[in-house]
Structures are given as C-alpha cells and as structure tokens.
Amino acid sequence: MKIHALTLAVLASLSASAVAADSIDPLKKAFIDDSKINLEFRLRYEDVDVDTLDDQHQTTLRTRLTYQTGDIYKLFALTEIDDVRSTDNETLIGDYEYTQINQAFIGYRGPAETLVKYGRQRILLDNQRFVGGVGFRQNEQTYDAFSVTNTAIENLTAYYSYINNVNRIFSEDSGKDEHKNETNLLNINYKASEMANITGYVYLIDNIDVAAFSSDTYGIRATGKLKLDAIKLSYEAEYAQQSEGGDNPTSYSANYYKLGAGIGFEGLGAKIGYEVLGSDDGKAGFITPLATLHAFNGWTDKFLFGGMGNWEKGLVDAHVILTAKVAGLKLLAKYQKFDSDYGDIDMGKEWGIAATYPFAKHYDVGVKYASFSGADEGYGFSNDTDKLWLTLQAKY
C-alpha cells in the first residue's frame, strides 16, 4: 500500500479539517454536502481447465468503497479502497485476497478547462489497447502519477501524464505487484465529426524495474460511425511504430496496425477485425506492457507473455464478433484466429460467448466462457484451455 507521501499527507490534512466542518461552511460543503460515496460488490466464480493440469476453480468477492469530496477552492480529493476475499489462491487464476488503496489523489480544476490530478489514479486511454486498468480482474491496475487533461478547444481533448509507479494486478508476495517507472504519456483526441474521431499519441515507457518493458511508441487512431436509416456502420483504423526505450537492452523497430469494420441493425451487430503486433524479423516484437490485455487477443489470456502482450515473433489476430440485445439482455459471441507475424507459426484459435443482464437498478449478472485450442506444439501456449466466469455485481 505504498503511495506518494504527499498525497497521503494532503488527504490526512483534508480529513482532519473535516472535523470542524459544522463550523466552517466551505469545508462542510466540500466534505459533506457535495461529497460522493460509492459502494460496489463484485462476486465472481472462475473455473480454469488446462490440458495436462488439474482443473482449478475459485470464488472471490471484491468490495470497493469510493469517497470523493466536493470542490473547495477548485481542489478536491478522492480515495478508493478495495478488499477481496477468496475461497482459494489458485495459481492459474489472477485474483487473490488483499486489502489496499486502489486510488488516492488530489485533483485541481484549473483555468481554461484544465483538470490536474496527483497521486494514485486510474488511467484509461482510448480503447485501453496501450494504457488501461485491467478492470476485469478483481485487482485493478492503477498508476502513481501526475496527469493533466485539457478540453479548452471544442471537440479536442489533450492529455499528459508522468508515471513513476505502476500498481499491477499481481499479489505482493509475487514480487511483480509494482514496477517503478519514469514514463511519459501524451494523448490528443479530436472529434471532427461522428465519422472522424482521430487520436494521436506518444507513449514513452521507461520501466526502471524491468528494462525489457521500456519502449517508445508513436501512433494514430481513427474511428467513426455512420447511420443510414436503421443501419449503423462503424470503422476503426490504427497504426503505431515502436522502438526500444529507456534502458531496454534490445534494439528493435516494430509496427502495429489494426483495421476493423462493423454493422448494426435493430439490436444486432457484427464486427470483423484484423490486428497485427509486428515483429522485427523475429528479434523482438511490438509490446503493450500497460494495456488491458484481457480485452484483446483472447479471454483465455494465452498471450500475456509475462505482461508484455507479445513475443519476439509477433502476433496476428483475425476476428469476428457478433452482438445482440434482447429485452435488456446483452449477448456476445466471438471467434479469433492467431498466427505469428514472423515464422509462419499457427498460434491457435479461440471462441467465446458472454451474456450480461442488469436488473433492479443496482445489479447485473454475467456469464462468460472461452475455449482455446489448435496451436502448434512447443511454444509454451499450445495446451488447450477452457475458462468460465460467473459474476454478480451490485453498485450503490
């Protein structure tokens, strides 16, 4: 539960001041009248079946309490505490028992539509392909960082952050729970129209603890939607170039690109996509160490590669996604075929289905299943794998 001493000191000072809130109107307004408290529960059962290994299953309950003050002289504070209880601590399942501070930061609403945050915070950029929170897991990935967001220009959002620590999803006992960083992230989004939502980004990741995670990435992303009567069309196109950063001992250059198109009609939808995390002639691959990896390249998480999100031979993902919404029930089915970018290696295929249903205002229930098979032998991800998740959530 290591976070910036300054953040804790300011939070403690603000909390102590709240004792006198009844007699000081600005503090009473900020800490009581305009404050927000949210309580969430997420109960999950997960079952993992991997060939050659014993079946594993686990039930976890995450409780999350979030408190945010109102503004006082344009300053506000947020703190968020997570607690997870577990029936077991299975090695193939990424959740475990813990109690820790998930977020704790000071915010400032500055001039010219500027928002500044300092402390432990959630950072979710674009579709989280490069920077995200791994929100599917019970332990979220958050960042000790200084960040600035500006929306002064209409339809344009400029974001910058400096990260000095990544709080990863792993347990403290693993030794992988934190990575010290000297990372700079720049993301500029301009929504010219519904058909042209364009983002340019520069991600200079300098991982002090694991130099192989350090990389310099420059990219551009475009998405858009078009409605023709009852038919909805959409597209996405993205390209990025990456080379070694920080003290990464490997010199390389690799590309990323993704193309996708979708169509929707009266609650039904279909998308096709083709994504390439390239390889530099088998020497090194395009990596995404801060990404929400579970959302990409298969729910069975066969291609995490220790958190790098790729290996030296690269990864090609061709996929089809079908969606439907019936009486509030959301359905999704997908199929993905994986190959290497270098070396003509069959990396297998995966299909998955998911259903979620919200009810009684505060609750939703979900089921998700994925099955991976068919990879070439001898590369560390060839074992057939099936995973099942049952989830019940409550938010107040």
Convert the pLDDT of each residue in 169-212 to its tens digit: 998 888 899 999 999 999 999 999 999 999 999 999 999 999 99
Closest CA to 2 of 97, 118, 120, 171: 120
Angle, CA 68 vertex, CA 63 and CA 74 arms, to 5°: 165
Convert the pLDDT of each residue in 309-353 to its tens digit: 999 999 999 999 999 999 999 999 999 999 999 999 999 999 999
Q: Quote the domain boundaries for residue 73.
A: 5-395
Q: Which two tokens stand for residue 381?
A: 């991800």
**CATH, residue 229:** 2.40.160.10
Strand partners, 57: 47
Amino acid occupying residue 85: R
Burial class for 344, CB neighbours closer than 10 Å (0-12, 13-18, 19+): exposed
What domain count does the chain have? 1
Convert the pLDDT of each residue in 255-277 to its tens digit: 999 999 999 999 999 999 999 99
Strand partners, 189: 157, 199
